Amino acid sequence: MTKELHLNLFLMPRGHHESAWRHPRAAGESLTDLALYTKAARIAEAAKMDAVFLADALVAPASGGLVASGVLEPIALLSALAAVTDRIGLIGTASTTYSLPYTLARQFATLDHLSNGRAGWNIVTSWAPQAGLNYGHDTDPSHAERYRMAQDFMQAVDALWRSWPAEALLDDRARGIYSRSDLIRPVDHRGPFFRTLGPLNVPASPQSRPVYVQAGQSEDGRAFAAEWAEVIFTAHMAKDTAQAFYADVKGRAAARGRRPADIAILPGLSAAIGSTQAEADRVFEELDDLTGPEIGLTRLSARFGGHDFSQVPLDRPLRPGDFPDPSSVEASKSRAMGYAATALKEGLTLRQLLQRLAGARGHLTVAGTPDRVADLIEDWFRSGAADGFNVMPPVIYEQLELFASEVIPLLQKRGIFRREYRGRTLREHFGLAPAGQEPSLAASA
């Protein structure tokens, strides 16, 4: 079968630009109103997008001008969206640092049942400064320790999802036998960070388990992705770095005995769309006019583990000494290194860097006509930079509707994006092997 493009809607309540929540044409509903998320999910489903993707935040915003990425808890919200959608996948973010394997396994198995097989788990190692204090921990674990915890967590939760296989569920009313207890086995996981006896008390879900989605780009993140990830959300502002990442992770997966085709790599893309280039440019201009450096500085500081950038002049080209050593950052290490490298390579001032990040926090941004946006997507897809994109509309609903009604039809005409769903599960949307049949994943269980 011809290789097919994948598109997720990365849904932020009123849009991805940091000032989208203020934009006069952004969604009018409250950020806690289910109707907002329902309408956006239905637009994406009507356009045959693979999934709705929800981020999360484990700390409150540090500024009154910031909107948290996770205003509502993702698994609960996706469970509500499962009832008002039919085919689109539902990917939620949950932390391996501040969750328990048994609880998370139950939650996502339940979501997969409620959605008839449309659940995906975005696996993150939480980096937000002081998140640990919200969960009873005096300190936050280091970057390396977070990935050691994630490895232990994955082994535990993966075993839990295998502990009650589908064939064990009989539901035989006549004989009075609900399940075959001989097929339901404890996991007795005893790792360095997590312990769980099992078995899980939820039968195997329609996909056996959710699709594994992951977003790390550091050395630890890439190694983790090569072992576990089936979909990777990544951030690149240039095609050459995206191509290098794509080749590296696919190569690592192949070295582990996995098929590179069983991993879909999806950079983030925030596109401002207009009928003319000038009209598209005005979208970002309007959004930039609604934001100021204070908000950007707060976001930048968090990415660098709380580093204070307030003493750096806004309009002088940035210097290496203006950043902490990115390799020493214990927060979002890969993103911090990318920010510093881009700023120094391009000679950006702090103001210019903040403006660049305001639109999509280090993801690819483009302003243009539907044809220009479709050309960029096709180019990255065909040139080994991406298997698709996590679409990050700068304004919801306006820019989402334009992407769905103007860009996606162009991609369909070019023969690279589906016109109809061919399956019902998220695993089928991504063309992934049935859970449990992946070469290295099955071997590692």
Q: Helix, strand, or coil here: 374?
A: helix
Cis amide linkage into residue 199, ω under 30° from 0 = yes
Provide the pLDDT for residue 396: 95
**Tokens matching residue 2:** 């011809």
**Tokens matching residue 27:** 């969604």
Q: Which residues of 11-45 are buried (b: 16+ CB within 10 A; e: fewer)?
A: bbbbbbbbbbbebeebbebeeeeeebbbbbbbbbb
Per-residue model confidence as pLDDT tens for the chain (445 residues): 578 999 999 999 899 988 899 999 999 999 999 999 999 999 999 999 999 999 998 887 766 666 655 579 999 999 999 999 999 999 999 999 999 999 999 999 999 999 999 999 999 998 777 788 888 988 888 888 999 999 999 999 999 999 999 999 999 999 999 999 999 999 999 999 999 999 999 999 999 999 999 987 888 889 999 999 999 999 998 999 999 999 999 999 999 999 999 999 999 999 999 999 999 999 999 998 888 777 778 777 777 777 888 889 888 998 988 888 766 665 566 667 777 878 888 888 888 788 777 777 778 999 999 999 999 999 999 999 999 999 999 999 999 999 999 999 999 999 999 999 999 999 999 999 888 755 545 444 4
pLDDT tens sequence across 207-243 = 999 999 998 788 888 999 999 999 999 999 899 999 9
What secondary structure does DSSP assign to 322-361, as a single string?
A: GS--GGG-SSSHHHHHHHHHHHHHHT-BHHHHHHHHHHHT
Q: Helix, strand, or coil here: 366?
A: strand
Distances (CA, A) of 368 to 144, 274, 277, 410: 40, 6, 5, 14
Are residues 228 and 154 in contact, defined by beta-carbon separation less than 8 angstroms?
yes
Task: Give the start-to-end residue ranges of the domains of the chain.
Answer: 6-159+203-275+362-444
The class that CATH gives domain 6-159+203-275+362-444 is alpha beta
